[in-house]
Structure 1
Amino acid sequence: MPGVTGTDWSDIRERLAALAAERNAADGGRRMVPPPLSPAELAEAEAQLGVELPEEYRSFLLKVNRGGWKPVPELWQVDGRWQWKGREHDNALDLLDQPFPHTDAWNLEDFIEPEPLREDFASQKEFDAALRDWWRRGVEIEDDPALTQGALFLDDRGCGFSTLLVVSGPARGSMWFDDRCVDGGLRPVLDDAGERVGFAHWYRRFLAQRYPVAGKTEDGERWSTSG
């Protein structure tokens, strides 16, 4: 199995443990930071899935935890199969080893003709039929599993919005927003400098915004979705 390199997570596990203790003291809960995966567990999961996960994410699984605290779902084993808890219906595990087909933002409007207009049809019946066909084609295109092959659905942002981690193909290691639920398409997550964001940057930024550290001033960065 490839070695773990690069990403330093030493401060994050300590921060999560302190956060759990703080919240438990406040409400009497019994939260615990989930344990990391063992190297053997990760090797087994990657062998089953047919992909080597991007370094920043795989080192998180080995050094911090296996997921289970938002925004990262738990990578766990059910009936001998590794999968992501709570995202079973989103992740097409048999397509993770296929290359993610996008390097730039994808939008339905670039792949379907413009919406029909009533004025272009002789009757309301003809217009209604054309509109139904147009909607049907849009749904077929947007719901094609090949659109997100090679990507892992990580954060469920609610109301159909998701954040993806690309695990195969030229965009491997980058984070993407899936906003197809509001015709926002698929697009890479960018920082304020317009640079594409990997798992470590994305996770640290989420933690800083969701659970700010007292005495620290946030830099105001918000994810950009252009590009």
Structure 2
Amino acid sequence: MTDWPGVRERVLALAAVPGSDKAFGAMGHGFALDAPLTAAEVADVQAWFGVELPEDYRSFLLHVGAGGAGPAYGAFPVRRDGSGGWHLVGDSPEEIEPGLLAEPFPGGVDPVAAVRILAERPDREDFDDLADLDVALEMWEERLAEIQYDPRSTAGALCLCDEGCGLTVWLVVTGSERGRIWRDPRCDGTDLHPMRNADGSPSDFAGWYLGRLAAAEALCGLDR
């Protein structure tokens, strides 16, 4: 797929279909899309981020929209910021740190650091005073969060979508997983993992987006 034929029209048409607001997240995005970016704008986005975006996502920005309606609460729109640069706009997108997008995606939290910090969890038997245990647990949880949410855990990936309750979706743009979609459930204490299509194959941006679009159309009784 190079130009997403008819997809923008399909998305926008859902806004007028009875029952489409029952699709998860639709009450938030209302099946509205930002305007597509121009080729010059996409080139500028890539220059600003310092990476070449995966082809299906790049062509989505060119032919469907810069973001808006999509899976869950929608795809974070890519927009200019006050400095003339670009960023993804959403309720909970992760901050893009300069240079990190160009680093290979590591596939989640550093496993060595995670095992180490989990082994350091304070033990009730080591404390006579429960108040001291509470303080130790709070400090340990802070150290654990620093490891879980170390920005290097998601180097080489763009935070693409909010699924609600702290769950997010990432598009890998650098490294061996480039072009693939990963879900981020770190809010539940588990690590990032790759998303898969119905046939078990790794999900890319097009598969992720079109699969959710087809599901929304099926919910409304629309046959494709």
The interval holding the TM-score normalised by the smaller chain is 0.7 to 0.9
1:116 equivalent in alignment to 2:117: no
In structure 2, list runs of 5 or more residues that go unmatched: 22-29
The aligned counterpart of 2:25 is none
Q: Is the 8 A contact 1:105 1:188 kept in 2?
A: no
Q: TM-score normalized by structure 2?
A: 0.78
Which of these residues, 144, 154, 160, is aligned with residue 148 of structure 1? 154
Rounded Cα–Cα distance in structure 1 between residues aligned with 2:109 and 2:135: 33
Instruction: Spell out the pairing of 1:1-227 with structure 2 (5 A cutoff).
Output: 6-7=1-2, 9-22=4-17, 33-70=33-70, 71-79=74-82, 80-86=84-90, 90-94=94-98, 95-102=100-107, 110-114=115-119, 115-121=121-127, 124=130, 127-212=133-218, 214=221, 216=223
In 2, are the aligned partners of 1:105 and 1:186 still within 8 Å (CA)?
no
Give the secondary-structure state (helix, strand or coil) at the position aligned to 1:92.
Answer: coil
Per the TM alignment, residue 99 of structure 1 is displaced from its structure 2 partner at its CA by: 1.6
Aligned counterparts of 2:93 and 2:159: Cα–Cα separation in 1: 10
Which residue number corresponds to residue 225 of structure 1?
A: none
What's the TM-score once normalised by structure 1's chain length?
0.77
Whole-angstrom distance in 2 between the partners of 1:76 and 1:166: 19
The DSSP-based 3-state class of the residue aligned with 1:196 is coil
Q: Which moved more, 1:106-115 or 1:157-166?
A: 106-115
Residues 10/108 of structure 1: CA separation in 2 closer, same or farther (3 Å cut): farther
Aligned counterparts of 2:46 and 2:63: Cα–Cα separation in 1: 16
Q: Which has the higher helix share?
A: 2
Distance 2:123 2:115 in 1: 18
The structure 1 segments of at least 4 consecutive aligned residues displaced by more than 6 Å after TM superposition are: 103-108
Gaps of 5+ in 1: 1-5, 218-227
Instruction: For 1:101, give the aligned amino acid.
Output: P
- CA deviations 1:140-171 (Å, max 9, x no partner) are 11121111121111111112110111111111
Alignment root-mean-square deviation, CA? 3.0
Seq. identity, %: 40
CA contact (8 A) 2:122 2:137 kept: yes
One-letter code aligned to 1:9: W
Q: Which has the higher contact order (CA 8 A, sep 6+)?
A: 2
Show CA shifts across 1:179-217 (max 9, x none). 111112211112343321100010011212234252549
Aligned partners of 1:46 and 1:63: how far apart in 2? Answer: 16
Task: Give, as a single letter, the amino acid of the residue that structure 1 aligns with 2:34.
Answer: P
**Would the alpha carbon gap of residues 120 and 192 (structure 1) be closer, same or farther in structure 2, given more than 3 Å must change?**
farther
CA contact (8 A) 1:176 1:186 kept: yes
Pairwise CA distance, 1:91: 3.0
SS of the residue corresponding to residue 113 of structure 1 reads helix
Deviation of the 1:42 alpha carbon? 0.4
Whether contact under 8 Å (1:173, 1:199) holds in the other structure is yes
